[in-house]
């Protein structure tokens, strides 16, 4: 069974640009959540989607958004990038909303 797949693996953008990250969950998993990891703040929850609906959102500005498609694949978008958005963005999937989470390899975003 394939694991959680995140694309791209690395991304370099400049301030003010926008970026879209993609996540394909493990087959059969309907819940997808996103986390941001930085050296200063550690791992922080961004949002969770289940059956195309956002169930939960972390404390991030509105520049961070996401969506989930009918096949459970998810995308997150960050608009008007700032230097502080440089981070490893991790996607996790689970069967339901009260299950074990399995993570992908992450997308390393660098904002110059």
Partner 1 sequence: AQKITQTQPGMFVQEKEAVTLDCTYDTSDQSYGLFWYKQPSSGEMIFLIYQGSYDEQNATEGRYSLNFQKARKSANLVISASQLGDSAMYFCAMREFTGANNLVFGTGTRLTVIP
Distance of alpha carbon 34 from alpha carbon 46, whole angstroms: 5
Closer by beta carbon to partner 1, 72 or else 93: 93
Closer by beta carbon to partner 1, 20 or else 37: 37
Q: How far is the CB of 99 from partner 1 (least distance, A)?
A: 8
Q: How far is the CB of 56 from partner 1 (least distance, A)?
A: 6
Q: What is the DSSP string of 17-77?
A: --EEEEEEPPTT--EEEEEEEETTTEEEEEEEEETTEEEEE-S--TTEEEEE-TTS-EEEE
Closer by beta carbon to partner 1, 26 or else 81: 26
Closest CA to 94 of 21, 24, 25, 6: 25
Q: Which residues bind partner 1 (CB under 8 A)?
A: 33, 35, 42-43, 45, 48, 55-56, 58, 88, 90, 92, 97-98, 100-106, 108
Cis omega (within 30 of 0) on the bond before 42? Answer: no
Closer by beta carbon to partner 1, 56 or else 80: 56
């Amino acid at each position: 069974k394939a694991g959680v797949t995140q694309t791209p693996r690395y991304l370099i953008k400049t301030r003010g640009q926008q970026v879209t990250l993609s996540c394909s969950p493990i087959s059969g998993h309907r819940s997808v959540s996103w986390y941001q990891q930085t050296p200063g703040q550690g791992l922080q929850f961004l949002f969770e989607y289940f059956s195309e609906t956002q169930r939960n959102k972390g404390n991030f500005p509105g520049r961070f958004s996401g969506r989930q498609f009918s096949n459970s694949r998810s995308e997150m978008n960050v608009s008007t990038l700032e230097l502080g958005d440089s981070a490893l963005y991790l996607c996790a999937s689970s069967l339901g909303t009260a299950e074990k989470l399995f993570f992908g390899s992450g997308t390393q975003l660098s904002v110059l």
